[in-house]
Amino acid sequence: MTNHGHPPADDAYPANDDADLDASQSNASQDDGSDDNDIGPDGVAHPRRIRSFVRRAGRSSEAQKRAFDELGPQFLVPYAPEPLDWPAAFARADAPRILEIGFGMGDGTAHIAKVRPADDFLGVEVHEPGVGALLKLIGTTPLANVRIIQHDAVEVVEHMLPEGSLDGVHVFFPDPWHKKRHHKRRLLQPPFVALLASRLKPGGYLHCATDWQEYAEQMLEVLGGEASLENTADGYAPRPEYRPVTKFENRGLRLGHGVWDLVFRKRG
């Protein structure tokens, strides 16, 4: 892992070297993010879409499996290539709508949802143990303002979230894909940032955080290059109070590792 112990907040765990990458991709149930082409039924090679994650099966605990069975029917939203009915999904209308991409094991999501009960939070994650862990937290806290979609975040944003429908987006500690040849797999690239910005309402915010300095610098450049967004700070932002400091982050800070927050707003 590259995030000083953080569960990665892109959609699933990253591969740490080429051998591991090959093994992970052979077991993936989605496109593997390689440069190879798929051969279509017409015999023509079609380029694969680069994925920002590698799906790994992982192993859910018994408590996480129980949470799936008991809470999944209420809090899991099935992926469908059509706009999400937020009032139906959350059983209330007119609450601010926040998307979180890649919530890892869900501790931060649960904390933020608890301290901001007036807001509705949609978490998107493919890693099954993480989904089970957040479902467990939803039940034990308890929380009524969180829903989960277990699917590729890009497809969720493209097909389920209409333009101008979100009040905020959280992307915390996405995998940095730290090797240069893997940078193309980073989630926060100009096309995806433009897509996220299009889904924000005027005045809505995009909050990113990373503990990888080189990725923070790229984030600042990419977000600053999106014309529809404006930085709320002169460079990096102070950590907003709602974002908790995790135990892994605390450990990293004690070791002298930096953490960078970026908060941009959609122009009116």
- The residues annotated with a catalytic role in the active site are 175
DSSP 113-128: HHH-TTSEEEEE---H
Q: CA angle, 267 as apex, 262 and 268 as ends, to 5°?
A: 145
DSSP H helical ranges for 76-224: 86-90, 107-115, 128-140, 153-160, 190-199, 213-224
Q: Which two tokens stand for residue 74?
A: 């209420």
Q: How far apart are CA 120 and CA 113, in angstroms?
A: 8
DSSP, collapsed to helix, strand or coil, labels residue 218 as: helix
| CB 134 within 8 Å of CB 105 | yes
Phi, psi values for residue 170, rounded to 5°: -115, 130
Rounded CA gap, 18 and 23, in Å? 9
